[in-house]
Structure 1
Amino acid sequence: METSDRASGVLRQHFDQHRTQLSRSELAVAEYLVALPIDVLIFKSAEEIASDAGTSDATVIRTARRLGFSGLPELKRVCSRTMAKTIPTSDRLEQRFRGTGSELPKVAQQMFATAREVLTSTEEQFDEQMLSVAVSLLEGADTVWCLGMGTAEIEARHCAMALSRVGLRTRWSGASGFTLANDLLDLRASDVVVLFNAVHETPEFSMVASQMSEIGCKLILVCGVQLRALYKDKVDALLTCIGSPSKLASWTLGAIVTGDMLAYGVAVRNQPRAIETKRRLAGLRAKAERRN
């Protein structure tokens, strides 16, 4: 409970700062949110909060914004950071079980709702100019390297495959340590790196980012909000994806969509090459099927 109290203290500060700007219905929602333990709040949807507070989900969303957040998802993320840093992973899993209950249909509904929340929050962070810059960098690359740091191996592999199918030469790696160092020996200044990392700035991540600068190749970073704050002026393009503090839906969802946007952006700007690549792929698949 101590951790929940500390995490809720962040919300309390926002409440104290903005309470005079709240309408009566917004004040009721804000007081309800402040009173909730954070390990309960992160599992609450806008609809559930509205029902408990006797108001509408639109009022809940508006209240979150009046309190200084972009919306309810950001409110939950910011307030949960203390909990994420201080509670062991096994304990957080127990909290998740308590938060969702064990009725599978209800759990499924919560997971679908959280997945929509993740994608909506990622869309809210979407930067058209950054996407255009990133696509331009990819168009000019000799080889595009898609690297997945930490748990982001799947995102990197998906992006590399999507880009190769629109005509780019790609390589991907989810390696770490000496294996990653060995993979990076082939990097050239004419290459572009798409680096996926959800949250943490590890020593290895810092090493890779600095090595890109030393080699002179361009770096596109696909990351969460905390890394964005640290690296927005240190990379050539940065695209932000949002996760969920409840962990009922993955940061991977937004990162996969981002990889698809990069690939389709390259395809749209280079349609003859993309079409020819698809034809070659179809031909190779047909030959493989005949051999089987």
Structure 2
Amino acid sequence: MTPAEKRVADFMQANREEVMVSSAATIATQANTSDATVIRTTQALGYSGLDELRQTLAAEMRGARSLPDRLSKTVKELGAQPDAAFQRSVEVHLDALASLGKHVSGADFKQAVELLAVSSRVVLFGLGPSGAIAQYFGIQLNRFGYQTLNVGHTGLLFADDLHALRAGDVVVMLAYDRLYKELDLLLAEAARLQLNSILITDSLKGKLQRRVTLALSVPRGKARLLSMHTATMGLLEALLVGVATQASARIGTSLDRLNALREKLVS
């Protein structure tokens, strides 16, 4: 996407209700671009035009978002037979990876890599399945020789997580759908300590991008179906490769030590 198209896509993501009732010209005015750019952006997102986009938005706004409902719709969409479900799931994953390149610009990716590469410690936040993905990212960074801290508790224990933050940390947050209390407090504490922060999200960029150093939009599959994390994993793996290009000597030393320890375990 061009910068103008990316700006339109971000506006659409953050202002769904307004997009439902606005013309291309009105959206263009709000996004400071042309109505032709609005149409091109809509098509780049996989829709034939604004009408199809509005239909999708209307279905999202009408539909329930419970897990049972998402499971039922996923089975209906992907197929009740295992082989059909497999093929359609692969297609959804491939579509998610393809759209990742449209949502994350080269400049934003480069900035994220640079923030991680020079960090003294990477703090990783995620709740539920996102927490498990954040932990995986942390393990890989540890192998690269980076210190990490997972902050994934809820309730009062999250105060202990916040208390562990320190100057020089870079905070990476995986957050989707809604602004949880824990995320809100983490953002506030990171701002108080003047920490660099990276938000990875599907729908919160418009609301939170002013509160973080960098916000990256990552799709999670089709709306109202079970969330799929292929694009998130793809982005995190790409960030690891990017960091490796910036700190190869440091990472090589760390991996040599890790390999020596592994050899002792199998000898």
User: Using a 3 Å threshold, how does the CA distance of structure 1 residues 194 and 71 change in structure 2: closer, same or farther?
Assistant: same
The structural deviation recorded for 1:97 is 3.0
Structure 2 unaligned segments of length 5 or more: list them.
1-16, 26-37
Structure-2 residue corresponding to 1:222: 200
Q: 1:200-227 deviations in whole A, cap 9, x for unaligned?
A: 1122211111111012221111111x20
RMSD: 2.9
Structure-2 residue corresponding to 1:256: 233
SS at match of 2:200: strand
SS at match of 2:178: coil
Q: What TM-score comes out, normalization by structure 2 length?
A: 0.76
Q: 1:67-113 deviations in whole A, cap 9, x for unaligned?
A: 935322794864543144x4543234333333334221111111111
Q: 1:231-257 deviations in whole A, cap 9, x for unaligned?
A: 22221112221012253560x211112
- C-alpha distance in structure 2 between counterparts of 1:222 and 1:193, whole Å: 11
User: Using a 3 Å threshold, how does the CA distance of structure 1 residues 161 and 79 change in structure 2: closer, same or farther?
Assistant: farther
- C-alpha distance in structure 2 between counterparts of 1:254 and 1:186, whole Å: 30
User: Using a 3 Å threshold, how does the CA distance of structure 1 residues 231 and 138 change in structure 2: closer, same or farther?
Assistant: same
One of 189, 198, 201 as aligned partner of 2:176 = 198
- The percent of aligned pairs where both chains have the same amino acid is 22
Q: Does 1:235 align with 2:226?
A: no
SS at match of 1:157: helix
Structure-2 residue corresponding to 1:70: 44
Q: Which structure is richer in relative contact order (CA contacts within 8 A, separation 6 or more)? A: 2
The structural deviation recorded for 1:190 is 1.2
- C-alpha distance in structure 1 between counterparts of 2:41 and 2:250, whole Å: 49
Q: What TM-score comes out, normalization by structure 1 length?
A: 0.70
Structure 1 unaligned segments of length 5 or more: list them.
1-8, 19-63
Structure-2 residue corresponding to 1:39: none
Q: Does 1:82 align with 2:61?
A: yes
- C-alpha distance in structure 2 between counterparts of 1:10 and 1:185, whole Å: 40
Are the aligned partners of 1:192 and 1:217 in contact in 2 as well (CA < 8 Å)?
yes
Larger radius of gyration: 1
Are the aligned partners of 1:10 and 1:79 in contact in 2 as well (CA < 8 Å)?
no
User: Using a 3 Å threshold, how does the CA distance of structure 1 residues 131 and 141 change in structure 2: closer, same or farther?
Assistant: same
One of 109, 118, 121 as aligned partner of 1:143 = 121
User: Using a 3 Å threshold, how does the CA distance of structure 1 residues 168 and 87 change in structure 2: closer, same or farther?
Assistant: closer
Specify the code of the residue in structure 2 equivalent to 1:260.
E
- C-alpha distance in structure 2 between counterparts of 1:232 and 1:67, whole Å: 21
